[in-house]
Amino acid sequence: MITILAGGTGSVKLVRGAASQSRGINVIANVGDNYWLYGLYVCPDIDTILYGLADLLDTDTGWGIKKDTYGFLRQMEMLGEETWFKIGDRDAAIHLMRTNMLKNGKNLTDITAWMCQKFAIDTKIIPVTDNTVETRIVTNKGELHLQEFWVKHKGQNDVEGIKYIGADKARANPAAVNAIHDSQLVIIAPGNPLTSIGPILSIKGIKKELSKSKRKVVVVSPLVGNKAISGPAAKYMEAAGMEVSPYGIAKMYSDVASHIVIDTSDRLLTRKIQNLDMKVYETKIKMKDKSEEEALAAFILKQVHA
């Protein structure tokens, strides 16, 4: 059994690669990006994994459903609503069903399992918690929800810090804790360390189980050199006072992971990372197409052993 900790657009490629190599994959999904909009509960990271595995993901944007239409959004605009968050028509159906099921007393875990069944996905997508955890970006202009900072304001404000509101009270999903415990290998996907994986680690029960399982946990660097493969990871890492490099990544995860995969071009850092008591693997980590997703997943499954 293999478990992958995953956020959004950076993580889905590895999840897809792993699912092509092995059955019985569990994905523990971030919920910190979840956002209420027009009375609908949007779970971007769960949906990105869902659409990615169902081969429905819009791979140009990295989110949403490919070839979706935007009639619903145009109508909201006509009604005077803000439309900076682009919800497509088919995507909206997912949020609507989820919201109705929540209103009828179902929890996010059961709803997500039902969605996986509807999309005929045999990978298990497990929300890290059924409680609310909200990632907020502290900026020079005040605190913003991650979606407002990144999508509405286009990540323009200076970042002073990141908060995971509700994490201290959130109960780790027992299915997530069991998945970590029962897996031979746990992979931390190359997602944003502070806004995709950080909220997962901010939940005590998850961090504790990972620390206990450290010998079988491998992290895949989301950086090559001092640049994020995609998204604003470098900006957030700087604000958190971290070194923006695969070494900074290794340091952040060194209490929950004992293996790290870095890009071959970063091999000069291997020695320094080994001093953190981590085993280092060098390979090509950028995944530009399906064959590269499969190649990286196959490399990890073959090379990394507890």
Of residues 87 and 234, the one with the C-beta less far from ligand FO1: 87
List binders of ligand FO1 among 145-164 (CB under 6 A): 147, 150-151
Of residues 38 and 63, the one with the C-beta less far from ligand FO1: 63
Bridge partners, 75 (sequence order): none
Least distance in Å: CB of 34 to ligand FO1?
9
Of residues 96 and 306, the one with the C-beta less far from ligand FO1: 96
Choose which of 41, 63, 149, 253 interacts with ligand FO1 (CB under 6 A): 63
Least distance in Å: CB of 68 to ligand FO1?
10
Q: Indicate whether 42 belongs to the interface with ligand FO1 (CB under 6 A).
A: yes
Q: Indicate whether 68 belongs to the interface with ligand FO1 (CB under 6 A).
A: no
- CB-facing half-sphere around the CA of 88: CA atoms within 13 A: 15
Q: Indicate whether 8 belongs to the interface with ligand FO1 (CB under 6 A).
A: yes
Q: Indicate whether 33 belongs to the interface with ligand FO1 (CB under 6 A).
A: yes
Calculate the CA 117 to chain-centre distance: 21
Which range in 41-49, 65-73, 157-165, 245-253 contacts ligand FO1 by CB under 6 A? 41-49
Closest among 5, 13, 62 to 293, alpha carbons compared: 13
Bridge partners, 282 (sequence order): 262
- CB-facing half-sphere around the CA of 12: CA atoms within 13 A: 24
Q: Indicate whether 64 belongs to the interface with ligand FO1 (CB under 6 A).
A: yes
Choose which of 15, 18, 29, 45 interacts with ligand FO1 (CB under 6 A): 45
Of residues 223 and 304, the one with the C-beta less far from ligand FO1: 223
Least distance in Å: CB of 265 to ligand FO1?
25
Of residues 95 and 259, the one with the C-beta less far from ligand FO1: 95
Q: Indicate whether 47 belongs to the interface with ligand FO1 (CB under 6 A).
A: yes
Least distance in Å: CB of 269 to ligand FO1?
26
Choose which of 70, 85, 119, 299 interacts with ligand FO1 (CB under 6 A): 85
Of residues 13 and 214, the one with the C-beta less far from ligand FO1: 13
Site track for ligand FO1 across 182-201, x = CB under 6 A: --------------x-----
Residues that bind ligand FO1 (CB under 6 A): 7-9, 33, 42, 44-45, 47, 63-64, 85-87, 91, 147, 150-151, 196
